[in-house]
Chains A and B, each alone.
Chain A
Amino acid sequence: MTWLLRGVRPYGEAAVDVLIRDGIIADVGPRLAAAGAERVDGAGLVALPGLVDLHTHLREPGREDAETVQTGARAAALGGFTAVHAMANTDPVADTAGVVEQVWRLGRDSGLVDVAPVGAVTVGLGGTQLAELGAMADSAARVRVFSDDGFCVADPALMRRALEYVKAFGGVIAQHAEEPRLTVDAQMNEGVHSARLGLTGWPAAAEEAVIARDVLLAGHVGSRLHVCHVSTAGSVELLRWAKAKGFDVTAEVTPHHLLLTDDLATTYDPVYKVNPPLRTAADVQALRKGLADGTIDAVATDHAPHAVEDKECEWGAARPGMLGLQQALSVVIVAMVETRLLDWRGVADRCSIRPSRIGGSVRDGHGAELIAGAPANLVLVDAAARSVVDPAELASRSRNTPYAGMELPGRVVATFLRGRPTVLDGKAQA
């Protein structure tokens, strides 16, 4: 199938036509001719490389009532993603070659997005014994990112071994940085609001202490460390220091930590409960700045669907996490583009190019520049279109979006995965 995208603006720059043939960008230029090509009127649309998400929870196997790979893949495609990494905290845990291959196949069968399973670092996320990381790396899923996300690899000796071990196959440990002894029963950011609300605080230091430790370990053993969902100004400073030292450290930030703040907890509505928690406005500013200057490498959604009963309850009883896939690009536009902190090339870099390198999906053609000869993984966005978020209209099986009722800019008009549309005219194609 041949597609001709008319008048699109790669990285928001001059309008051109893009010709896609046999899964490849065949040509980029003004007024291309292509007999028999399907045409997409792209006038005014920004073209970006397909987005890559280093951090999603697709809940399958185990909690198919909250999300399946299929529903999560649909949300991803509608959000402009062509590749997503699926976290290991499923049931059973993705700590064996068998489970990661199962998730990988479900992703392939969805036809909507490439699903790269993340392998657990420790058996059952138990934090005590290394999982068979090599077997997962050698499996059909070719796992390169390992994480106990949901839990921190808190034992420093075990963390060191994990960092060292994955060097053998070019892996990376993605750390959920949370010192567990400092976050017993923690419910929200520790500060002015937790004090008033009587909710146990989750101190910034509990994240920063682990990041400080882990960047030192990574530097010491010469390994790659990736820090998940950085949420505090202090974490950004530590990462800036580690990068200046030349340590091989990368980091991600979620859309919600770029936009929302802990005062939302005053509603006691657990749709705002997330781990790490929403922080202060000063943290949001520091995270935006860190993403803008490259200290933070990537935007990653931490898309965390939850069943209604896990959110329609007391704050303390609710599970942490919020949806992210479908609104991620919109939030990036609000937080980074409209504020002029990033231009569209910057968005492409932080939402596609760098995450594809960190997670290894670059080998499958993700995060490639929009030039002739590149794999045709791309997204077309109407950056100016604004709409009000309606949870009922989301593709996820769950409804726990913190953006309900907010008017956000940015509509994904089309997504192409290896030259095939997964979204056309804003509608998923499977």
Chain B
Amino acid sequence: MRKHLLSAADLDREQATLVLDTAQQIEAALAGREVKKLPTLRGRTVVNLFFEDSTRTRISFELAAKRLSADVINFSAKGSSVSKGESLKDTALTLEAMGADAVVVRHSMSGAPHRLAQWIRGSVVNAGDGTHEHPTQALLDAYTMRARLGRLEGLRVTIVGDVLHSRVARSNVLLLSTLGAEVTLVAPPTLLPVGVETWPAEVSFDLDASLKADVVMMLRVQRERMAASYFPSPREYSRRYGLDAIRMGMLADDAIVMHPGPMNRGMEIAAEVADSVRSTIVEQVSNGVSVRMAVLYLLLGGAEVPL
């Protein structure tokens, strides 16, 4: 593994597979245990640096670090020196002085983790930066697909929604193509970036024509995008690009439905779809902890310490 995990593109096929295999081993090691804890990262410090509210991602990383016995510091932008105008660089120097071994960073600006990685000695894990990437989300999605469907090679994955603003989509396209899956992006043309034609993915504007898939991943679409004319109304959006019961009925029998959360029920996904047996939304959350444990373990040189 490299020192940092900033982009899903930082992982080649072998490394990505190692993360997934390690997550699986961790899950097996903890299964049935009363105390869900491994001593692997005892004495190491992991900082959760969250400039943007995301309780679910922060808790997932916090749990992952604690289950590896690391010391965890939560450094949130709210109520700290960060919100008083302290620069990212000054924050980095503070973390450096604390001796952080790993910094998990969530930031509203694309590339902030890359900047941080230039200023500190510890490992940086990108926990979502602006509209850029969210590599651990892609890893947990791949893990979930592999667990449900048994493979990734040749898997047909349709990703639907606001690709333009989605860090989840960017990381998934990169990671899934590395792992041999075939990705199709579906969105109204307004929500696809100029330049998407160079991505390792097919592009379609038609959801109904893209349902012959093993996986359908629905992206969160903010209603506020309507104000900037990305689509005329939430109703038209959900009619054209929402996954409802009728569309779910067109899927293959063993196809699964994913969503990175938080969901807009009734917008991109209907309640009966979100709550159906095809939905992996709850598993995605628990798999997130295992995958993040694997990432921290591998980045912090855990490979020299047996699990």
Pairing of A with B:
yes
A:166-204 near B, CB below 8 Å: 187, 190-201, 203
Asked if A194 and B194 sit within 8 Å, CB to CB, the answer is yes
Asked if A268 and B114 sit within 8 Å, CB to CB, the answer is yes
Contact of A268 among B115, B170, B195, B196 (CB under 8 A): B115
Asked if A198 and B114 sit within 8 Å, CB to CB, the answer is no
Residues of B within 8 A of A197 (CB): 110-111, 132
Asked if B194 and A314 sit within 8 Å, CB to CB, the answer is no
Minimum distance in angstroms from A229 CB to a CB of chain B:
22
Residues of B within 8 A of A187 (CB): 110
Residue among A187, A193, A198 facing the most chain B CB atoms (10 A cut-off): A198
Whether A191 touches B195, Cβ cut-off 8 Å, given contacts A197-B132, A313-B89, is yes
Minimum distance in angstroms from B106 CB to a CB of chain A:
13
Cβ of A317 < 8 Å from any Cβ of B? yes
Q: How far is the CA of A145 from the CA of B111 in the complex (A)?
A: 38
Residues of B within 8 A of A203 (CB): 194
Cβ of B193 < 8 Å from any Cβ of A? yes
Cβ of B112 < 8 Å from any Cβ of A? yes
Please encode chain A, from 257 to 285, with 1 for each CB lying within 8 Å of some chain B CB and 0 for all others: 00000000001110000000000000000
Residues of A within 8 A of B130 (CB): 198-199, 316
- A191 closest partner in B (C-beta): B195
Whether A268 touches B111, Cβ cut-off 8 Å, given contacts A195-B199, A309-B87, is yes
Asked if A267 and B167 sit within 8 Å, CB to CB, the answer is no
Cβ of B80 < 8 Å from any Cβ of A? no
Contact of A198 among B115, B118, B129, B198 (CB under 8 A): B129
Asked if B114 and A195 sit within 8 Å, CB to CB, the answer is no
Whether A192 touches B110, Cβ cut-off 8 Å, given contacts A197-B132, A198-B167, is no
Asked if A199 and B195 sit within 8 Å, CB to CB, the answer is no
Cβ of A312 < 8 Å from any Cβ of B? yes
Interface size for chain B: under 10, 10 to 19, 20 to 34, or 35 or more residues? 20 to 34
Asked if B109 and A315 sit within 8 Å, CB to CB, the answer is yes
Asked if B131 and A314 sit within 8 Å, CB to CB, the answer is no
Cβ of B4 < 8 Å from any Cβ of A? no
Cβ of B88 < 8 Å from any Cβ of A? yes
Cβ of B107 < 8 Å from any Cβ of A? yes
Residues of B within 8 A of A268 (CB): 110-111, 114-115
Contact of B195 among A192, A267, A269, A317 (CB under 8 A): A192
Q: How far is the CA of A269 from the CA of B114 in the complex (A)?
A: 9
Q: How far is the CA of A312 from the CA of B109 in the complex (A)?
A: 14
- B195 closest partner in A (C-beta): A195
Whether A312 touches B194, Cβ cut-off 8 Å, given contacts A196-B170, A198-B129, A198-B130, is no
Interface size for chain A: under 10, 10 to 19, 20 to 34, or 35 or more residues? 20 to 34
Residues of A within 8 A of B110 (CB): 187, 197-199, 268, 315-316
Cβ of B133 < 8 Å from any Cβ of A? yes
Minimum distance in angstroms from A62 CB to a CB of chain B:
20
Please encode chain B, from 119 to 157, with 1 for each CB lying within 8 Å of some chain A CB and 0 for all others: 000000000011111000000000000000000000000
Minimum distance in angstroms from B82 CB to a CB of chain A:
12
Whether A201 touches B193, Cβ cut-off 8 Å, given contacts A314-B109, A314-B112, is yes
Minimum distance in angstroms from B52 CB to a CB of chain A:
12
Q: How far is the CA of A282 from the CA of B198 in the complex (A)?
A: 17
Residues of B within 8 A of A312 (CB): 87, 89
Asked if B111 and A195 sit within 8 Å, CB to CB, the answer is no
Please encode chain A, from 87 to 108, with 1 for each CB lying within 8 Å of some chain B CB and 0 for all others: 0000000000000000000000
Asked if B132 and A198 sit within 8 Å, CB to CB, the answer is yes
Q: How far is the CA of A321 from the CA of B292 in the complex (A)?
A: 39
Minimum distance in angstroms from B147 CB to a CB of chain A:
28
Please encode chain B, from 82 to 122, with 1 for each CB lying within 8 Å of some chain A CB and 0 for all others: 00000111000000000000000001011110110010000
Q: How far is the CA of A197 from the CA of B164 in the complex (A)?
A: 11
Residues of A within 8 A of B199 (CB): 195-196
Asked if B170 and A314 sit within 8 Å, CB to CB, the answer is no
Residues of A within 8 A of B167 (CB): 198
Asked if A190 and B111 sit within 8 Å, CB to CB, the answer is no
Minimum distance in angstroms from A127 CB to a CB of chain B:
21
Whether A190 touches B194, Cβ cut-off 8 Å, given contacts A199-B111, A314-B112, is yes
Whether A191 touches B194, Cβ cut-off 8 Å, given contacts A198-B131, A198-B132, A198-B170, is yes
Q: How far is the CA of A315 from the CA of B118 in the complex (A)?
A: 13
Minimum distance in angstroms from A147 CB to a CB of chain B:
29
- B9 closest partner in A (C-beta): A196
Residues of B within 8 A of A200 (CB): 131
Q: How far is the CA of A126 from the CA of B133 in the complex (A)?
A: 37
Minimum distance in angstroms from A199 CB to a CB of chain B:
5
Minimum distance in angstroms from B60 CB to a CB of chain A:
21
Minimum distance in angstroms from B252 CB to a CB of chain A:
30
B:20-64 near A, CB below 8 Å: none
Asked if B198 and A192 sit within 8 Å, CB to CB, the answer is yes
Residues of A within 8 A of B170 (CB): 196, 198
- B174 closest partner in A (C-beta): A196
Q: How far is the CA of A193 from the CA of B111 in the complex (A)?
A: 13
Q: How far is the CA of A94 from the CA of B72 in the complex (A)?
A: 52
Residue among A193, A195, A269 facing the most chain B CB atoms (10 A cut-off): A195
Q: How far is the CA of A196 from the CA of B200 in the complex (A)?
A: 11
Q: How far is the CA of A195 from the CA of B114 in the complex (A)?
A: 17
Q: How far is the CA of A313 from the CA of B118 in the complex (A)?
A: 11
Minimum distance in angstroms from B159 CB to a CB of chain A:
15
Q: How far is the CA of A309 from the CA of B88 in the complex (A)?
A: 10
- B114 closest partner in A (C-beta): A268
Minimum distance in angstroms from B84 CB to a CB of chain A:
15
Whether A313 touches B195, Cβ cut-off 8 Å, given contacts A197-B110, A198-B170, is no
A:349-401 near B, CB below 8 Å: none
Q: How far is the CA of A316 from the CA of B89 in the complex (A)?
A: 14
Minimum distance in angstroms from B90 CB to a CB of chain A:
9
Minimum distance in angstroms from B102 CB to a CB of chain A:
20
Please encode chain A, from 281 to 319, with 1 for each CB lying within 8 Å of some chain B CB and 0 for all others: 000000000000000000000000000010011111100
Whether A267 touches B114, Cβ cut-off 8 Å, given contacts A198-B132, A314-B107, is yes
Minimum distance in angstroms from A270 CB to a CB of chain B:
9
Minimum distance in angstroms from B168 CB to a CB of chain A:
11
Residue among B111, B129, B196 facing the most chain A CB atoms (10 A cut-off): B111
Q: How far is the CA of A317 from the CA of B107 in the complex (A)?
A: 12
Q: List 8 A-B contacts (CB under 8 A).
A: A195-B194, A195-B199, A198-B129, A199-B131, A199-B132, A267-B114, A268-B111, A316-B130
The 8 closest A-B pairs by CB, nearest first: A198-B132, A268-B111, A195-B195, A195-B193, A198-B131, A316-B109, A198-B110, A192-B195
Residues of chain B at the chain A interface (Cβ within 8 Å): 87-89, 107, 109-112, 114-115, 118, 129-133, 167, 170, 193-196, 198-199
